[in-house]
Every structure is written in structure tokens, then in C-alpha cells.
Structure 1
Amino acid sequence: MMKNPLKSSRSSVQAKDAYDDSEALSTIARSVSMSAGNSKQKRIAEDVLRYGNVKVAAEVFTFRELAAATDNFDPDLLIGEGGFGRVYQGRLKKTNQIVAMKQLDMTGSQGNQEFLAEVLTLSLVDHPNLLSLIGYCADGRQRILVHEYMPNGSLEHHLFDVSPDRKPLDWYTRMRIVTGAAQGLEYLHDAVNPPIIYRDFKATNILLDEHFNPKLSDFGLAKLGPEGKDHVSSTRVMGTYGYCAPEYAQTGKLTIKCDVYSFGVVLLEIIAGRRAIDNTRTTEEQNVVSWAKPYFKDKSKFNMLVDPLLEGNYPEKGLHQAVAVAAMCLQEEPSTRPLISDVVTALEYLTMELE
């Protein structure tokens, strides 16, 4: 790791305190898994029951309440859509709070699994750089997660395909966003026991509030990490093409270092303003990691990696440090990648210098 005067950082926010009443999570696990049946869903339900002695501040909503909050899920209130389902903006009648509601697609095989994984993860954690779970709905086959609303949308929206009438993110804002995202990941790896492997770190899952503070979202693929083991063997590789660590994609062996690799991809996207995979580019430039790696060997060429939208407005020393961090995270061998806590230390030092 690069030299700097800061000691290794640890997130100051601790995991939620446990308490005796585990009824909330246990009820979710049992109700969701009764109709599931397959072994994967049962294992996730067992995780919920095993770690169900945590405080669940989330409110339980009825489907009728959430339908009223979104005008019966009016298409005009749709703010996002993906493999998980649809996200709507809504206003809770009781509190007048604006929220985001993720309605999971229960026709897919992952619906119950993602719902359980997200409720479990967000019930175990509490950190400023993780999206807060306000409540959930498990009426019949409906699975809806109610989150805090993030007015500036995803990082992806501000990095790629920026129209001429929109102002691109400046260098400092980019570094502040990636530092906050790293702190959220550090919390999952270091403050939670057992550690949580995020498994889906990407620009679309980094949401921004009104001040462009980042929060990690979408924990449907999150997995409780190993206790005293070197890896978790997964029978099915999950995640997004272009962000998955090579060893995980090839062997299904999952560790916290897989998240570090994905972080390196996102940091490179932030520096370059290029998507992890962009099929509109020439063959040799479609994969941002493959395109960038030759430049990692020569500091004099680091400026070739910078997003043209920055128009040269970036500190040269800051660029060198950011590229060095990305290069270390993207090492092929997992053991040579830094821990995310070391990445946070380097990035915090970098943002302090910028300030």
C-alpha cells in the first residue's frame, strides 16, 4: 500500500446491538421460505433465523398502504428498473415521508432469495454509507422493500452518457463519492461479524443523496462471509459481468477480496468515465480493465486514463494516487490485493490533500 501518515482506518459506526426478541426476522424467514422449497432458499432462511436476534427497526407495511403511497404503482412514479424488479418513488401517508419502494419480481427464481438476503443484511448493519431500510411488505406473494429516497439517483447516471446540458462530476466530488463507498464496504467487511461479502459492487448500486454523499444499495446478492475459512464455495456465480473478480468467475470461490476487485473496477470507471463493459467501443477498448492495464506501468501515461469531461481539471498527484489504488485492487492474484481498510486509508488521505 502507498505510504502516507494515516493509520489504517476503521469505520466508527458499529453493528447494531443484539436483543432477545428475534420474532421479526424469524417471521419473515418462515413466511417467505414456506413456499420456496429449494435448498438455497432454505439456507438463506436458516441464516435469517441464525442471526435473527438483531434489532429490526424496519416497519411492516401492508400492500394496500404501499399501493396508496404510489397511486397504485403509477408508471409516472417509476424511477428505476432492473433484474430485481421495479423501483417507485412514493410518499408514506402516515408520515408524509418520500421513499423509494423496490418491488421484487417474484416471477424470477431469485425473488425470495434476494428479499431474504436484503432484509437480513440491512437488519444486521447500520452505517452512513449504506442505504437505510425503512420497512418491508410480505403480503401474500408481494415482496417490497421500502428505502430512504436518494434524490440524485445512481453514480452511473452522473458518470456515463452525460448530456451537454448536465454538469459532469468534478474530480473532488468523484473522489469523495468513491471514498464514502469504500467506507461502506469497509464496514461490511470489518465491523460486522461474520463479515458480509457484498458481491455486487458497481456504479448502479451506489446511490447519491442531495449532497452527493454515496450509499451502497441492493443487497440481494450479499452473502455472510467465512468464519475461519479462506473462501466460500458457491455453486453459482452471481454478480455483474465486468465487475466480478476473475477467480470468482472461474471457480466460484468467494472472499472479501472479490469485493476489492469490484471496487477497483468502479474506481477505474470514476477516473476514466468509461463503463466496465462498453460494446459500443472498439474490441480492444470494450473492457475498461483490459484497456487500462497497459497504462498502469507508466506514470507518464496516467493522464490517458482520465475522463475527457474533466477537461484537465484534476491534481496530477491525486490522479497518480487514485490510479495506483485502482491498479492494486485489480491484481489478478487475490492475496496481493489490499484490504478495503487500506484502500479507505489511502483514499481518505487523498481527499484530505484535495481539501
Structure 2
Amino acid sequence: MIQSLELENFKCFEKIKIDFKNLTLLTGVNSGGKSSIIQSILCMKQNFEILNQFPDTIEMLKSKNYTDFSIGRIGTEGKYTNLGTANNLLYENAEDDFISFRLTLEDKEKKKGSLFLKTQIDKNNPKYLTIDNSASKIDFTKILVDEENFSYLSADRITPKLQYDYSKENVLKGNLGNKGEYSIHYLAVNSNESLKLNELKHPNSNSLSFRENVARWLERISIGIDISSGVNDEMQYSYLKYSYNGGKEYFPQNVGFGITYVLPIIITLLKAERGDIIIIENPESHLHPAAQAEIANLCCKVAAQGVQLIIETHSDHFLNAIRVAVKNKIIENADTQIYFFTKVEQKSIAEKISLDSNGKVDKWPKGFFDEWDIQLEKLLW
């Protein structure tokens, strides 16, 4: 798991530290820095996954015993995120051109370690940050190089259509794609497999079958729904169909948009195992408020089993459902953390907000899910 992240001179942040729990919620104003936190993690992840493909590269970085320039640098484009040129990553009012990243990590065996990279903009190649060999320290990278226990779902996810992407390689790794583009193929292949975490079995499910439990949790979003999926190996595509109450099957285009949009989230959550890290952007998108609360409740159930979730959201329904889950002991308040991002004099800051054992918020800074009260007051007066 990621225990903490520290950034200096990265995008909108002069300096910031974020502490992570099993369930960490990133909220706040638009362009306040929520996505920048996620992007910094994704940037480190994609670079170390690439480095891990080359024998001895990580050990060379750890020992600082390298002469190849390409080894001692960090790319701004990759598998999870594309950040443009390095100049765009430098804090606007930075006094120098150094950008630093520090991650504190803990693996499944509770072994702790850290990664500290002090980087400088590569003037010869703007798509790279050069690692300062004398200042950086790498003593723990297992989480960063492990592809199979990490999932990221962007705010831009799959939409209703006749055919979906096909990839045996990604499905075998459990990689659903940043948009969930391989989630339908994954569902088809693993339909009869059992959940990795028995605690995620839906109360109305007759078994631990992956497909059945995906369908039952999806039914919390749309009453009476069921799903089926398959693959065409010859034409290399996957497909999805829905039905209601045992009736005729429909292609996704004939069912509500939000159903397909949320499906990769449910599949990602239910395929998780302890020690996994999952990052989800805007899980509330295209969902009715009650459905947003259901997804938040499922997230809490997953996080309570030792899966780390980092979630960016603008939804007060999502927040309040987490508060209720804490009160109902679905997840302990000590396993949750909330950050509210805002700007003060054009500088992005993050205020830490905590929940007590009854789901009560310890403080309500201005702009923190207060728009309901503001508009209601205007109606009353």
C-alpha cells in the first residue's frame, strides 16, 4: 500500500504531503490539484514498470551505479498517464527547476520502504526528467513494478456499444485498461471463477461466482438487471448483453448509459484481493444519487478487506454514504481519510478531514460539500 506521498514543485503544488489509508477520498474545487496527486503516482508507477523490464536496471538505480543516461531519467508519457512536456510539470513560481517525488510504501508482508526522486528538467529532451543521482534514494520498488495488483480507472470509461476490446495478454494480468476497455473480456473469461475475497459476496447471490456477484451488485444500480458476456476469438472482440427479470436480452445501447459506465468499477472492485491498489476517478459519473451511494458502500466493503482505494470525487452522496458505512461499522473510521483541495492566492493546498466512529466530519471548511446549504438558504430567504 501507499502510506504517503510528498511532492515539491510539481504542477500546482509548491510543497505537499498526503497520507493514505485503506480508503482515501480526494475532493475539492476544479483545478485544485486532485488529479495532480493521482498523476504523480501514475507517473512513478509507469516508469518503474518499464524499468523493471530490463535486467538489473532497478538494482543499478538503487546503487546509483549507472552511466547510461536513459536509465537515470523519468518519462512524462506512458501506460497510465501522459503529462506532456516536463516544463508543464514545474510549479509556476518555483525558485529552481527541480521536481521531487517521495513515496512511502508497505507491501503485503508489511515490509516498509520508500522512494525519493529529485529530478530536473531535461533541457535536451522535454519529455524526460533527469534523476539527480546524488540526492535520490530508491530502496523499495516492489509495489511500483507489480502490474497485477494495481488498477486505475480514469473518468473516461467505456460506453454502450456492440463490441468491446479483446486482449488475452491484459486479461491474464487482470489489467482492465484505464478506461475499463478490457473489463467485458475479463468478465467473459472469468465468469465462472470464484471471488478472491469471500467477504464481497452479495447477500442475494447463490454462490461465489464472479459473474453472478457482478450481476447482483449491478442490480443495486438497476433493479432486476442481469448480464451475460462473451468473446469472439476469431474476430477478436468481446460483447455484452443485459436482461431484466429473466426477459429478453438487450445490447448496451438499449439500456441506460450509466449502467455500462459503472460496470468496469464493479468488476474492478470484485476482482480485487488483499494488498491491491485501486485508483478510481469520479465513480459517481452518470449515476442516480442512490446508485452513487451503493457504489460508495461497495468501495467501503472492499477497502475494509485490506484493498487500498484512492478515489477522486465531487459527489456529496458518495461522501455521505462513506460516513454511513463508518457508522454502520462496514469500515473503521481509522481506515478512511479525506482531503479537500482548494486554492489560496493561486497556490493549491489540501486540508485533511477525518471521520469519527459515528461518521461525523471533524470540520467543514468553506467549499467542502456546502453548496446544498448555500442554495437552500437562498430559497428560504
User: More relative contact order in 1 or in 2 (CA 8 Å, sep 6+)?
Assistant: 2
TM-score (norm 1): 0.27
Point out the structure with max Rg over C-alpha: 2
Higher helix share: 1
TM-score (norm 2): 0.26
